[in-house]
Amino acid sequence: MPETAADLSTMPPAVAITGLRFRWRANQPWVLDIPTFHLANGERLFLAGPSGSGKSTLLALIAGISRPAEGRVTVLGAELTTRSGPARDRFRADHLGVIFQLFNLLPYLSVSDNVTLPCRFSTRRRARAEAAAGSVAAEARRLLAHLGMDEPGLVRRPAAELSVGQQQRVAAARALIGGPDLIVADEPTSALDTDRRLDFVDLLRQECASVGAALLFVSHDRTLADRFDRVAELPALNRAPSAG
């Protein structure tokens, strides 16, 4: 589709990193030293790396929670490194969906309230969710149904009652609500059974494609790698001698 290709080329990349260096304290060794890293708009990237190779730290930098000592992190055309903490938080609320390894949900909220949580912090995502389905709750139900969670009464159940597999799918729905432009997933399948992992990755991939979001999927489980557009190796990107 040439039209799509043209669109993608004019839009800024999802992530562009140049000369990034990060360490926890000033006199400690560098944890990350990445000369360049690139994630195209709408691209689905599998970022591989063993535990402790600095994957979570890189994601925190891309999400704008941490700030590098040197270099530039540009997400969706916005340079995060020059923005203030609250501005980065606002940017994350508007444009990013984050899925963790485990414990993604607030146990005291219902499934529906968990999914709509980002809409409490972002008027942009609230507006987009309402535009998509009429109300944020309807959009939450629609996303959950897409992810195979359409049992009646499920949306009202407390998140704490769900199985781990269900929780991860709710987390995916939460990351996707309100059409963010970039989904960041930090080993979201590590707590799932082997046969459920592929299902989850396929679902996530499909949903990202349907909302047009780029996907940065970080894992050490290479059996999932062939589901993605591209595979990158963090140890190859990172010049820091010993990762933390």
Report if residue 89 touches other proteins, rule: CB under 8 A. Answer: yes
What is the smallest separation between the CB atom of 66 and other proteins, expressed in angstroms? 6
Q: Which is nearer to other proteins, 74 or 104 (CB)?
A: 104
Report if residue 106 touches other proteins, rule: CB under 8 A. Answer: yes
Report if residue 41 touches other proteins, rule: CB under 8 A. Answer: no
Build a one-symbol-per-residue string for 161-190: x at contacts with other proteins by CB under 8 A, - elsewhere.
-------------x----------------
| Ramachandran region, residue 45 (left: φ > 0; alpha: ψ -120 to 50; beta: rest) | beta
Contact 73, 80 (CB under 8 A): yes
Strand pairing report for 230-233 and 214-219: unpaired
Q: Which is nearer to other proteins, 40 or 169 (CB)?
A: 169
Report if residue 207 touches other proteins, rule: CB under 8 A. Answer: no
Q: Which is nearer to other proteins, 45 or 119 (CB)?
A: 119
Alpha-carbon distance of 73 to 33, in angstroms, equals 12
Report if residue 2 touches other proteins, rule: CB under 8 A. Answer: no
Q: Which is nearer to other proteins, 40 or 219 (CB)?
A: 219
β partners of residue 70: 21
Report if residue 29 touches other proteins, rule: CB under 8 A. Answer: no
What is the smallest separation between the CB atom of 122 and other proteins, expressed in angstroms? 6
What is the smallest separation between the CB atom of 60 and other proteins, expressed in angstroms? 5
Q: How many residues bind other proteins (CB under 8 A)?
A: 32
CA 204 from chain center: how many Å?
10
Q: Which is nearer to other proteins, 190 or 225 (CB)?
A: 190
What is the smallest separation between the CB atom of 65 and other proteins, expressed in angstroms? 4
- Among positions 30, 100, 200, 228, the unique one binding other proteins when judged by CB under 8 A: 100
Query: Which of 156, 112, 157 is CA-nearest to residue 136?
Result: 112
- Give the interface with other proteins as residue ranges (CB under 8 A): 56, 59-60, 63, 65-66, 85-86, 89-90, 92-94, 96, 98, 100-109, 113, 117-118, 120-122, 174
